[in-house]
Amino acid sequence: MFKKILLILLVILILLAGSLFFVFRFNLTHSVNSSNANVSFEVFAGQSKTEIAQSLKNKDLIKSKWAFIYYSVSHNKSLKPGIYYLKQNMNTLEIIDLIASGKVQEHKITTIEGWRNSEIADYLIKNSIITNKEAFLKAANGKEGYLFPDTYRLSLDVTPEEIVKLMTDNYNKRTNDLNVSKDDLILASIIERESANDEQRYNVSGVYKNRMKIGMKLESSPTVSYAKNNWVEPTITDTKLIDSPYNTYKYAGFPPGPICSPGLASIKAAQKPATHDYYYFINTKDGQLIMAKTLNEHNANVSKYLK
């Protein structure tokens, strides 16, 4: 009798295991639906397999997140970050293989506030978006400041011209209601390089507007650095000897154009500067903005905070 019960239990276990295996294989080898339509799906850097599986499940791209997790873990599948086009009729095995292959269908880039065009080009080269820096700079010629800093999705065969158009179109869209003048954008680009936060942006803008009102030179260090094609703090010798219209220590008024691509916060600060009677400022090593009303006060601040 006892042997008979054990036999029955063994048969039940075998049938149960077989059923589970069938369900497992079914979930791996059958798609959710038969549509041939593409669905864009992004795997983020640092995402776990559980998070990827849940995201796929939420988009109705897989039948079972547990089957996805078990198979990808047991077969040591390394899932690569990127943007993939998944057809809705792909099964879980096909999806895992595609993501593990790393054959992304789009690039995703993020450009930063305060970058000049040459830095954007370097970033694109580093991330294998383009192969020719000069071609990008040629496409971006005359558009310094207009390549709006943002996150972009790019096709694999994108050209430098298409990237520049995408960024400038985004600039036009994001600033459409702001009526930004060229002088606004130039000042915004200087503010972007001189400020650490939004409060500082408005105060820095106020300093430069105060200087402009009395015919004082802007004397902005980043403009000299731009003339040198780097962001290294210029020396006193640089400010005196570099003969460039971007040297605002040597030439009065705004430089000929923006020195970088500013964000919206800096553009808004350029248009609405803080109202105060400060004409000087320094940036301390710990990120503080220290303003002064007179040159004597400014020199005292330099001695106190920068030496």
Sign of CA dihedral 139, 251, 297, 228: positive
Q: Work out the burial of residue 68: count CB atoms within 10 Å of its CB; fewer than 13 is exposed, 13-18 middle, 19 or more buried.
A: buried
> What average pLDDT does the structure give for the chain?
91
pLDDT, position 33: 85
Q: What is the pLDDT of residues 9-59, one digit of tens each?
A: 555 566 555 545 545 576 777 878 888 888 889 998 889 999 999 999 999
pLDDT, position 161: 97
Mean pLDDT score, 198-202: 94
Answer yes or no: is 2 within a domain: no
| DSSP single-letter state for residue 298 | H
Using CA atoms, how far apart are residues 293 and 56, in angstroms rounded to an integer?
A: 59
Q: Nearest Cα to 273, choosing from 220, 209, 177, 218?
A: 209
Q: Tokens in use for 75?
A: 């077969």
Q: Which of 43, 75, 101 is the last residue of a domain?
A: 101
Same domain, residue pair 133 and 150: yes
pLDDT, position 1: 62
Q: What is the pLDDT of residues 224-249, one digit of tens each?
A: 999 999 999 999 999 999 999 999 99
Same domain, residue pair 281 and 209: yes
pLDDT, position 246: 97
Q: Which of 44, 79, 101 is the last residue of a domain?
A: 101
Answer yes or no: is 19 within a domain: no
pLDDT, position 55: 94
Q: What is the pLDDT of residues 128-177, one digit of tens each?
A: 899 999 999 999 999 999 999 999 999 888 999 999 999 999 999 999 99
Answer yes or no: is 5 within a domain: no
Answer yes or no: is 227 within a domain: yes
Answer yes or no: is 194 within a domain: yes
Same domain, residue pair 93 and 194: no
Q: What is the CATH number of the domain that holds 93?
A: 3.30.1490.480
Same domain, residue pair 206 and 275: yes
Bridge partners, residue 61, by sequence: none
Answer yes or no: is 22 within a domain: no
Domain span at 85: 28-101
Least confident span in 72-86, 201-215, 264-278: 72-86
Same domain, residue pair 118 and 223: no
Same domain, residue pair 196 and 290: yes
Kindly state the percentage of the chain with pLDDT values over 70.
Answer: 91
pLDDT, position 7: 59
Q: What is the pLDDT of residues 60-84, one digit of tens each?
A: 999 888 889 989 999 999 999 989 9
Same domain, residue pair 70 and 113: no
Using CA atoms, how far apart are residues 108 and 221, in angstroms rounded to an integer?
A: 33
Confidence of residue 4 (pLDDT cuts 50, 70, 90): low
Mean pLDDT score, 97-107: 90
Same domain, residue pair 166 and 199: no
Q: Which of 174, 190, 213 is the last residue of a domain?
A: 174
Which amino acid is located at 164 in the chain?
Answer: V
Answer yes or no: is 139 within a domain: yes
Same domain, residue pair 204 and 225: yes
Q: In the chain, how many domains are there?
A: 3
Same domain, residue pair 209 and 295: yes
